[in-house]
Protein backbone atom coordinates (compact mmCIF):
# COMPACT_ATOMS: atom_id res chain seq x y z
CA UNK A 1 0.00 0.00 0.00
CA UNK A 2 1.38 3.39 -0.99
CA UNK A 3 1.61 6.09 1.65
CA UNK A 4 0.05 9.29 0.30
CA UNK A 5 1.85 11.46 2.85
CA UNK A 6 5.22 10.14 1.71
CA UNK A 7 4.29 10.69 -1.95
CA UNK A 8 3.43 14.30 -1.10
CA UNK A 9 7.02 14.84 0.13
CA UNK A 10 8.20 14.42 -3.47
CA UNK A 11 5.10 15.52 -5.39
CA UNK A 12 2.36 18.11 -5.45
CA UNK A 13 -1.32 17.38 -4.98
CA UNK A 14 -3.76 18.63 -7.60
CA UNK A 15 -7.55 18.52 -7.30
CA UNK A 16 -9.90 19.82 -9.99
CA UNK A 17 -13.51 18.62 -10.12
CA UNK A 18 -13.45 14.83 -10.14
CA UNK A 19 -9.69 14.74 -10.78
CA UNK A 20 -7.40 14.07 -7.84
CA UNK A 21 -3.71 13.53 -8.57
CA UNK A 22 -0.19 13.89 -7.25
CA UNK A 23 2.24 15.25 -9.84
CA UNK A 24 5.95 14.48 -9.50
CA UNK A 25 8.14 17.30 -10.75
CA UNK A 26 11.83 16.51 -10.18
CA UNK A 27 11.90 13.61 -12.64
CA UNK A 28 15.65 13.84 -13.30
CA UNK A 29 16.35 13.36 -9.60
CA UNK A 30 13.92 10.45 -9.42
CA UNK A 31 15.80 8.85 -12.34
CA UNK A 32 19.03 9.19 -10.36
CA UNK A 33 20.52 11.95 -12.50
CA UNK A 34 22.88 14.34 -10.71
CA UNK A 35 24.41 17.29 -12.53
CA UNK A 36 26.73 20.09 -11.56
CA UNK A 37 26.82 23.24 -13.67
CA UNK A 38 29.17 26.10 -14.39
CA UNK A 39 27.94 29.65 -13.70
CA UNK A 40 27.05 29.82 -17.40
CA UNK A 41 24.53 27.00 -16.94
CA UNK A 42 26.54 24.46 -18.91
CA UNK A 43 26.95 21.04 -17.33
CA UNK A 44 30.35 20.54 -15.73
CA UNK A 45 29.77 17.04 -14.30
CA UNK A 46 27.04 14.41 -14.56
CA UNK A 47 26.27 11.03 -13.10
CA UNK A 48 23.40 8.58 -13.32
CA UNK A 49 22.82 6.35 -10.30
CA UNK A 50 26.36 6.96 -9.08
CA UNK A 51 28.03 6.25 -12.43
CA UNK A 52 29.69 9.12 -14.32
CA UNK A 53 28.08 9.85 -17.67
CA UNK A 54 28.96 12.30 -20.42
CA UNK A 55 27.71 15.85 -20.13
CA UNK A 56 26.01 15.52 -23.51
CA UNK A 57 24.12 12.40 -22.33
CA UNK A 58 22.95 14.27 -19.24
CA UNK A 59 21.91 17.24 -21.35
CA UNK A 60 19.92 14.95 -23.64
CA UNK A 61 18.20 13.30 -20.65
CA UNK A 62 17.26 16.68 -19.20
CA UNK A 63 15.95 17.80 -22.58
CA UNK A 64 13.88 14.61 -22.97
CA UNK A 65 12.32 15.17 -19.53
CA UNK A 66 11.46 18.83 -20.14
CA UNK A 67 7.87 18.16 -21.27
CA UNK A 68 7.44 14.88 -19.38
CA UNK A 69 4.77 14.48 -16.75
CA UNK A 70 4.30 11.68 -14.22
CA UNK A 71 1.41 11.51 -11.79
CA UNK A 72 -0.51 9.21 -9.48
CA UNK A 73 -4.26 9.23 -10.15
CA UNK A 74 -6.37 8.56 -7.07
CA UNK A 75 -9.43 7.66 -9.17
CA UNK A 76 -7.72 4.81 -11.04
CA UNK A 77 -5.10 4.20 -8.31
CA UNK A 78 -2.45 4.02 -11.04
CA UNK A 79 0.61 5.93 -12.10
CA UNK A 80 0.24 7.64 -15.45
CA UNK A 81 2.49 9.69 -17.68
CA UNK A 82 2.81 11.88 -20.73
CA UNK A 83 5.80 12.62 -22.99
CA UNK A 84 8.19 10.16 -21.36
CA UNK A 85 9.79 6.90 -22.47
CA UNK A 86 8.41 3.73 -20.94
CA UNK A 87 11.84 2.85 -19.49
CA UNK A 88 12.18 6.21 -17.74
CA UNK A 89 8.56 6.03 -16.57
CA UNK A 90 9.06 2.57 -15.07
CA UNK A 91 12.27 3.63 -13.34
CA UNK A 92 10.59 6.70 -11.85
CA UNK A 93 7.53 4.76 -10.67
CA UNK A 94 9.75 2.17 -8.95
CA UNK A 95 11.63 4.97 -7.16
CA UNK A 96 8.36 6.59 -6.06
CA UNK A 97 7.09 3.24 -4.77
CA UNK A 98 10.30 2.76 -2.77
CA UNK A 99 9.82 6.15 -1.16
CA UNK A 100 6.08 5.74 -0.56
CA UNK A 101 6.02 2.26 0.98
pLDDT in tens, 24-44: 999 999 999 999 999 999 999
Query: Looking at residue 15, what is its pLDDT?
Result: 96
Residue 101 has what pLDDT?
86
Give Cα separations from 91 to 7, 27, 42, 87 (angstroms). 16, 10, 26, 6
SS3 of 17, please?
A: coil
pLDDT given at position 1: 72
Tens of pLDDT, residues 54-74: 999 999 999 999 999 999 999
pLDDT for the residue 2: 83
Query: How much is the average pLDDT of 13-23?
Result: 96
The larger pLDDT score, comparing residue 4 to residue 46, is at 46
Residue 81 has pLDDT above 80, yes or no: yes
What is the pLDDT, as a whole number, of residue 82?
97
Number of domains the chain is built from: 1
Domain residues for 55?
4-100
Amino acid sequence: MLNTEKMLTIGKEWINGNNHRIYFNDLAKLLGLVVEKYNTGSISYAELNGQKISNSSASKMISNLYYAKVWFDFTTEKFESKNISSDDFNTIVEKIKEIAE
